[in-house]
Structure 1
Amino acid sequence: MIRTGDAYRQGLQDGREIWMDGERVKDVTQHPSFKPIVDVRARMYDMAHEARYQDRLTYVEDNKRNTIFYKPPRETKDWSDKIAAVDAVMQDIGGVVTRVGDETIGEVWSLMDGRDVLAEFDPRFADNVDRHVQNIFDNDIFHVSANTDPKGDRSLAPQDQDPDMMVHVVKETDAGIIIRGAKYETAAAYADQAFLKPTVGAWTNETLSDYAVGGIIEMGAPGVRQICRSSFAGRTNPKDYPLANRFDEVESLVIFDNVLIPWENVFFYRHTKAAQFVRATLHRYSAFPYVHRLLYVADMMIGAAMFNARQTGLEKLQSVREKLADLVCYREGINAHLTASITLAEKSPGGLLMPNQSMLYAGRIHACANLPAMMHIARELCGGQICVTPNAAAFEAEGSGEWLKKFYSLNKQWESEDRRKLLAFARDLLNSDYAGHRLTFVQFAQAPHFNHLNAVYNAFDFSGPLDFVRKAAGLSDQVMGTGK
């Protein structure tokens, strides 16, 4: 049941309408802005067929070989297997990618937990969830999610402005519902399908709303067109920007121009309570792989900073060691929250094993909120040369190359070419346009920071601290009944 890289590439030849920099993209598998990241995803598919990786990336059940990434987690080992699989991929590709399917499949698992809620409004929708979970699993589909709308003037209700500012249903037919609007989404241009999710704040007190809609969108469906931001890939020499040219995950404004969602692809429609429930539980699984990726970002910062300190012997200085220790504490804090969330995992309403929600969401706050400060510490440790070092062409050219080799060679262990590569890597990781883009992505990819904090508040059990203080302060039992 696992796909190959070629099968994935062939699946993208579905006539999808993609635009970038004012031009129609004829083939996302060959376009210089998309080919590197398409190749990374294809590599993930091919790894599952190789003997050295197959046991780490797949498993056999009912005589079928399936991907570890899409296996619904029911025991602790399932999460350990996913961690090992992600590690195999990141080590093989030599970088970090986020939107490659395993992060967004968790949002579909959340639908499994909410199928009874959906069934209250329409039993067909709950059956649709079951079918699509199995379809993604059986066919190894590259599944992403259509996230946030343009929203327009947020001081106005959707119906008081251009209604297309938020995705909404304009018509029902025997075949399904017709939608209009747009969503921003990462990786949609080279994915198979997307989970269309309701936006935050699309309604107020309504019981029913045309804006409360969710389901599966095929990326090659009629009326779906994508306008992508400019890519960082292909604009610069990969020797100077090794990360941007290989791992840029391109975002799209995905436009739905009277797009049909067949009834069998609808998860919920019009019922605001169903949509609110789905929105509130979306990240109970997907936050884990999302935060897990930041563990590798931390490793890259530590590695780049330590190499830069060691090449000149600065790691012996106490002040340098303290800053390196700050990076290590950041990294280990992420690791601790992830480990604890699995060790203390909870059974979900749908019978799955979900990470301990309080630990997981607190870990997301730690990983996301502290990333800007950690990047700055890594910059300090790498030094000013990451912003003043000439490009690879200058090192290779006659006339300039010999001087650069002289001044960038430290000793036999650190000659100019390795030093140039390290500085270029650190620049792309910390200082480049790509680095700034990735930092913003981390801050908003799942939700804004205030939503992260709200998730922590809602997931934490306040009864323990309250009862401890009640006893310590000698308060009466009745105070435990006040408040939320």
Structure 2
Amino acid sequence: MIRTGSEYRDSIRGTREIHVNGGRVKDITIHPMFKPLVDIRARIYDMQHDPATRHIMAYQQDGEWHGINNRLPHTQSDWWDKRRATDTVLEDAGGIVTRVGDETVGEMWSLFDGQDVLNEVDPQFSENIRTHIGRVLHSDPFHVSANTDPKGDRSRPPQEQDPDMLLHVVKETDQGIVVRGAKYETAAAYANQAFTKPTIANWGDEAYSDYAVGFICDLDTPGLKFICRTGFAGRAPAEDYPLSNRFDEVDTLVVFDDVLVPWENVLFYRHTRAAMFMRATLHRYSAFAFTQRNLKFADMMIGAALFNVRQTGLDKLQAVQEKLAELACYREGINAHLTAAITLAERSPGGLIMPNQSLLYAGRVLASSQLHHMMHIARELCGGQICVTPDKAAFDAPETGPWLQKFYTVNEDWMADDRRKLLAFARDMLNSDYAGHRLTFQLFAQSPPFAHLAAVYRNFDWEGPMDFVKHAAGLSDRVMGETTRTAGDSAISRWFNTQATLKAAE
């Protein structure tokens, strides 16, 4: 059954060895650097019970309630429901949170699609993935993702350096496998379980490798150590840094010190083809949730910039309108790709409905590659005052407050306090340490740009443009080789055929 926020908090209290700032964390639910995100995740659980949001956040099946975002997508409407649920969460929170589960649970669905690959290794592994998907539906854990290793010397294979630089299996037992190494996992310290898997790796000529392992890790397992980066919450007053203090998702180096993983939690092992399949399809579903958050961030930039220019009437200037239009085009470009990815959804190899892969990955490239440029446009529209405005304490102090009230009051509608709040919001979103961290986080959370483009290359319909040019230029059939199509086999024709199949299935 779906959990409450209180049940979630209870589930992460315990004996975990969590370190931050050189000290041991006693209770992560009240620690100032972790509490803001723990509270947001607890709120998401409570929204599944709240009468005002339950119909958006949860669904009922066989007399049991489940979270919408954990539901396997079988129809296009499932994706519209997921999109609406995520928007509801972000709007309720008043900002963007990324690692809360909806963006990582989809990674397991890609293995559900690859059960034939898993069966080549051991049929038990495909059974394990079905079991764990069922557990997510029925027990509603906070599920996160573990990809990135400490790396080491990437010019050398892992076997030729400290073997622990990449997570690997050191022993097999009757109970399961014993693993050693480390993984970077955002939110791991306050989550319940992680889909732990290899990063992009150079396997060399090995068909089998102790590094080719994927499993579900219970984050309460003995032998795990959580070494967290310093959080942004509490480092500066919340009035001056409203986003840093509420939405920082703490990243963690999780050390696996000879950790036992039960066989029922192992999803693949010693099979590089399974590992490579997983890496190639990892974001088949989860890229949607990541890209949706870029859409919401675009809304935040537009809102902050528009409030700023309208205060003084600058929105009437053509140069300002053009910059606002650039932000709007960026926003609508993301929106169009997400909308089209659902509308032109495809049947996956495992029988699920996945967003149109070419459109989804192209939309992710747009959202990620242009983000830094859009942030700078928003900075320009917000003006230089976001980097020079004094903090709230100066506005409150009797010696300086009257002067700041005078110079920061724009008109009868925009008094100094609202002006200060807007500038503080824009500074934290665009100029702060937290803003820089979130921009860099795109390279970690969504994988690097070359991987984005590789995904587009693998999923774009290259034969469609070639077929058009073949006919337009009067080329012979042999230039197309084995990809020659019959009449009516265009990309759009094949899409209509797919849609007819999907409607029949629904």
TM-score by length of 1: 0.99
SS across alignment from 1:69: helix
Contact 1:202-1:211 at 8 Å conserved across structures: no
Contact 1:194-1:218 at 8 Å conserved across structures: yes
Indicate the residue corresponding to 2:113 in structure 1. Answer: 113
Cα displacement (A) at 1:69: 0.9
Cα displacement (A) at 1:220: 1.4
Task: Tell me the distance in 2 between the aligned counterparts of 1:91 and 1:200.
Answer: 34
Residue 154 (1) aligns with residue 154 (2): yes
Task: Tell me the distance in 1 between the aligned counterparts of 2:202 and 2:224.
Answer: 22
Indicate the residue corresponding to 1:404 in structure 2. Answer: 404
Indicate the residue corresponding to 1:198 in structure 2. Answer: 198
What are structure 2's unaligned runs of at least 5 residues?
485-506
Residue 128 (1) aligns with residue 125 (2): no
Indicate the residue corresponding to 2:216 in structure 1. Answer: 216
Task: Tell me the distance in 1 between the aligned counterparts of 2:333 and 2:15.
Answer: 45
Quote the sequence identity (%): 64
Task: Tell me the distance in 1 between the aligned counterparts of 2:363 and 2:317.
Answer: 31
Task: Tell me the distance in 2 between the aligned counterparts of 1:375 and 1:419.
Answer: 20
The amino acid that maps onto 2:57 is L
The amino acid that maps onto 2:318 is Q
What are structure 1's unaligned runs of at least 5 residues?
none
The amino acid that maps onto 2:321 is R
Cα displacement (A) at 1:482: 7.6
Task: Tell me the distance in 2 between the aligned counterparts of 1:192 and 1:322.
Answer: 46
The amino acid that maps onto 1:23 is G
What CA deviation, in whole Å up to 9, does each residue of 1:56-107 have, x standing for no partner?
Answer: 1111110111110101111111111111111111111100101100000000
Residue 228 (1) aligns with residue 195 (2): no
Indicate the residue corresponding to 1:364 in structure 2. Answer: 364
The amino acid that maps onto 2:76 is T
What CA deviation, in whole Å up to 9, does each residue of 1:137-174 have, x standing for no partner?
Answer: 10111000111111101111101000000000000000
Contact 1:202-1:212 at 8 Å conserved across structures: no
The amino acid that maps onto 2:247 is F
Contact 1:169-1:180 at 8 Å conserved across structures: yes
Cα displacement (A) at 1:437: 0.3
Q: Please identify runs of 4+ aligned residues in structure 1 that moved more than 6 A.
A: none
Contact 2:107-2:282 at 8 Å conserved across structures: yes
Cα displacement (A) at 1:483: 9.8
Task: Tell me the distance in 2 between the aligned counterparts of 1:466 and 1:34.
Answer: 53
1:163-178 alignment, distance < 5 Å: 163-178=163-178
Indicate the residue corresponding to 2:99 in structure 1. Answer: 99
The amino acid that maps onto 1:291 is T
Cα displacement (A) at 1:412: 1.3
Contact 1:95-1:243 at 8 Å conserved across structures: yes
Task: Tell me the distance in 2 between the aligned counterparts of 1:111 and 1:392.
Answer: 50
The alignment yields a C-alpha RMSD, in angstroms, of 1.1
The amino acid that maps onto 2:371 is L
The amino acid that maps onto 2:468 is F
TM-score by length of 2: 0.95
SS across alignment from 1:216: strand
The amino acid that maps onto 2:312 is T
Residue 20 (1) aligns with residue 14 (2): no
Contact 1:17-1:220 at 8 Å conserved across structures: no
1:72-471 alignment, distance < 5 Å: 72-471=72-471
Task: Tell me the distance in 2 between the aligned counterparts of 1:271 and 1:237.
Answer: 50
1:467-478 alignment, distance < 5 Å: 467-478=467-478
Contact 1:284-1:354 at 8 Å conserved across structures: yes
Contact 1:361-1:452 at 8 Å conserved across structures: yes
SS across alignment from 1:277: helix
Task: Tell me the distance in 2 between the aligned counterparts of 1:320 and 1:428.
Answer: 22
Cα displacement (A) at 1:121: 1.1
Task: Tell me the distance in 1 between the aligned counterparts of 2:333 and 2:118.
Answer: 37
Task: Tell me the distance in 2 between the aligned counterparts of 1:171 and 1:309.
Answer: 62
Task: Tell me the distance in 1 between the aligned counterparts of 2:79 and 2:199.
Answer: 29
Contact 2:192-2:218 at 8 Å conserved across structures: yes
SS across alignment from 1:230: coil
Contact 1:372-1:439 at 8 Å conserved across structures: yes
The amino acid that maps onto 1:370 is Q
The amino acid that maps onto 1:229 is R
Task: Tell me the distance in 2 between the aligned counterparts of 1:111 and 1:474.
Answer: 43
Indicate the residue corresponding to 2:63 in structure 1. Answer: 63
The aligned length equals: 484
Task: Tell me the distance in 2 between the aligned counterparts of 1:257 and 1:87.
Answer: 39
Task: Tell me the distance in 2 between the aligned counterparts of 1:156 and 1:90.
Answer: 42
SS across alignment from 1:40: helix
The amino acid that maps onto 1:470 is K
